[in-house]
């Protein structure tokens, strides 16, 4: 990508690079644009600033679209997965504190995940949150845990 930096942009970018109190990522981005404006190759720029070529292309594009201000602000990302509803957590806790169906003597994470319809990791996070350990048959107290956590979420 051919990047053109005018005199104003170049002076602002050089000020960012020379400012010792600037975050390192801002300095890297400014250096990418300055080196691009000096017609250096993408491979040379990537090696010089310690980034990969796709990152160099991304910041060149960001500068072309928004200007210097675009280098100082990270793009927002969509949020991750929403947390599980409280009803699902309560269902996992209630099932954990009850007898499993069939010939098994305790709930396994995979069996619980299949029964409730969530992932194994989600079951493990819920068990850790409520300090449930159904595999410890001799020390697992169903009545105390189930009454406390179901009554007081």
**Closest to 95 (Cα-Cα) out of 103, 87, 12:** 87
Measured distance CA(80)–CA(78) in Å, rounded: 7
Q: Quickly name the fold that domain 86-151 has.
A: Arc Repressor Mutant, subunit A (1.10.10)
pLDDT of residue 52: 94
Measured distance CA(20)–CA(41) in Å, rounded: 26
pLDDT of residue 39: 87
Task: Kindly report, residue by residue over 24-64, the tens digit of the pLDDT.
Answer: 999 999 999 999 888 889 999 999 999 999 999 999 898 88
Above 90 in pLDDT, residue 124? yes
Residues with Cβ within 8 Å of 89's Cβ and at least 6 positions away in sequence, in order, are 126, 129, 130, 153
Above 80 in pLDDT, residue 123? yes
Are the CB atoms for 49 and 55 separated by under 8 Å? Answer: no
Measured distance CA(45)–CA(36) in Å, rounded: 7
Which SS3 state, helix, strand or coil, does residue 44 take? helix
Boundaries of every domain in the chain: 7-71, 86-151
Q: What is the pTM of this model?
A: 0.52
Measured distance CA(77)–CA(92) in Å, rounded: 31
pLDDT of residue 90: 93
Q: Residue written as tokens 């699902």? A: 88
């Amino acid at each position: 990508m051919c990047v053109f930096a005018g005199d104003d942009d170049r002076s602002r970018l050089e000020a960012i690079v020379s400012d010792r109190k600037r975050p390192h990522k801002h300095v890297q981005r400014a250096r990418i644009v300055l080196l691009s404006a000096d017609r250096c190759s993408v491979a040379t720029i990537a090696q010089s600033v310690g980034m990969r070529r796709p990152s160099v292309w991304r910041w060149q594009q960001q500068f072309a679209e928004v200007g210097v201000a675009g280098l100082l602000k990270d793009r927002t990302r969509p949020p991750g997965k929403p947390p599980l509803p409280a009803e699902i957590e309560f269902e996992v806790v209630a099932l954990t504190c009850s007898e499993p169906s069939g010939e098994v003597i305790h709930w396994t994470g995979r069996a619980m995940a299949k029964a409730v319809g969530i992932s194994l990791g989600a079951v493990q996070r819920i068990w850790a949150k409520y300090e449930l350990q159904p595999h410890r048959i001799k020390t697992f107290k169903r009545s105390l845990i189930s009454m406390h956590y179901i009554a007081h979420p």
